[in-house]
Chain A
């Protein structure tokens, strides 16, 4: 049983990676070697205060969040980056409002030896294209990934996409030189308060509820692109990890499940699956096709 996988020229000692925005430094430090790479919350060029509360709602087997990318901005973030150094490759997630923002962030991060790969959070409004999400328009994906890849000077750039348009988006990212794609971000969702007759929260749905949608996106993208896929969305058990890899993921991100489970248990379950089947982690990648 071998847990190692190779992703964008990096060796990950397990295929598990935290999903951006769901594992703070306390959670990363407590995870004790479960993760093959570390991925902190998305950082933007300037500090962002985030959205007013409420920011959370619960759903059957999931949750809706509307955090608004609260973060201290890239400069403060870099000062605190050592807190995320746990001896495994460090990936950084970035977001901006224009292709220029992404390129600026990639340039800044690529110059730092601690950063081994950059994930572009493309579920953000593109102010130069009428506020449509970058990931919703393949031409935007292509433009922003190309700018990011150029600025990253050889460091791997991962494009994180939504489920809608995942295949076209993944193809556009591949054309523009992305080293991998992450599928998927949260699904657009709404919580309504029937008693008060008003909207409670407009945000992104995550958790086990979205797993089948995410699996489908990974499966279809695997057929459409040659670059590796990081599966993400509703992964909460070791069997879920296996399912995502069988559908085509090279590595698997753990998001909301980290709030309700100990990631060490998820890895233990996944190791148990490999032991039972007599397979290595890498044998699973795309094996359901």
Chain B
């Protein structure tokens, strides 16, 4: 895997989230992810693997990711001036939807992949509503999702033409739904088959190549 060393340009706290920004030339699809590690990991191999993060936003040559500190890897990344990043990978959301209003839903605070998607839908004039399941410490993220509603559950989504989800969970029957999943990854580029996601028809897909965004009906666990 090819990593690029970049300097973190800015770092901002929004409740329990942190936004990291770094320079990046190139394009990205909403829902794609990057692998990130602290620069020190290159030679220390400690932690050994880089960590996957959804692309949060990309504008004017500045990439942002939204991270929550979970364990050693995220703690180290959050406090590093210099990080190493991969190019964006994977299959993102495919916002080629039937005409009509669409819903963007984030389960358990997994809002990151929806930000760029929401901006792109907005640019294209697609009508949408955003529903976010947030813990109290996550509510400050609403700054980046103007108009979004904080919900405990998503209620009846049957009036929408399509649903774009982040995080696993029940899907409204009969509505086209794309969902972003998080699976542990090693290579992030299709080599190791470590990021297996069970498919409805049997067998597994790789979250890093065939995903991380899937048609919800393709997946076994929904």
Known: A54-B184, A56-B184, A70-B193. A207 touches B48 (CB 8 A): yes
Name A1-59 residues within 8 Å CB distance of B.
21-27, 30, 41, 49-56, 58-59
Contact A259 B1 (CB under 8 A): yes
A70-B198 Cα distance, complex, nearest whole Å: 13
A30-B1 Cα distance, complex, nearest whole Å: 9
What is the CB-to-nearest-CB distance from B164 to chain A, in angstroms, rounded to a whole number?
A: 24
Digitize A267-284: 1 where CB-to-B-CB distance is under 8 Å, 0 elsewhere: 000000000000000000
Known: A261-B1, A262-B2. A60 touches B191 (CB 8 A): no
| B interface majority secondary structure | loop
Contact B1 A24 (CB under 8 A): no
Q: How many A-B residue pairs have CB under 8 A?
A: 104
| A interface majority secondary structure | loop
Query: CB-CB < 8 A to A23: which residues of B?
Result: 191
> Nearest A residue to B207 by beta-carbon distance?
A53
Query: CB-CB < 8 A to B2: which residues of A?
Result: 30, 262
Query: CB-CB < 8 A to A56: which residues of B?
Result: 184-186, 192, 194-195
What is the CB-to-nearest-CB distance from A47 to chain B, in angstroms, rounded to a whole number?
A: 9
Q: Is B218 positioned at the interface, with any CB of A under 8 Å from its CB?
A: no
Known: A59-B48, A63-B48, A208-B45. A262 touches B1 (CB 8 A): yes
Q: Is B47 positioned at the interface, with any CB of A under 8 Å from its CB?
A: yes
In which size bucket is the chain B interface? 20 to 34
Q: Is B203 positioned at the interface, with any CB of A under 8 Å from its CB?
A: yes
In which size bucket is the chain A interface? 35 or more
A208-B46 Cα distance, complex, nearest whole Å: 10
A256-B185 Cα distance, complex, nearest whole Å: 12
**Residues of B participating in the A interface, judged by any CB pair closer than 8 Å:** 1-3, 37, 41-42, 45-50, 183-198, 202-204, 209
**Residues of A participating in the B interface, judged by any CB pair closer than 8 Å:** 21-27, 30, 41, 49-56, 58-63, 65, 67, 70, 207-208, 236, 256, 258-262
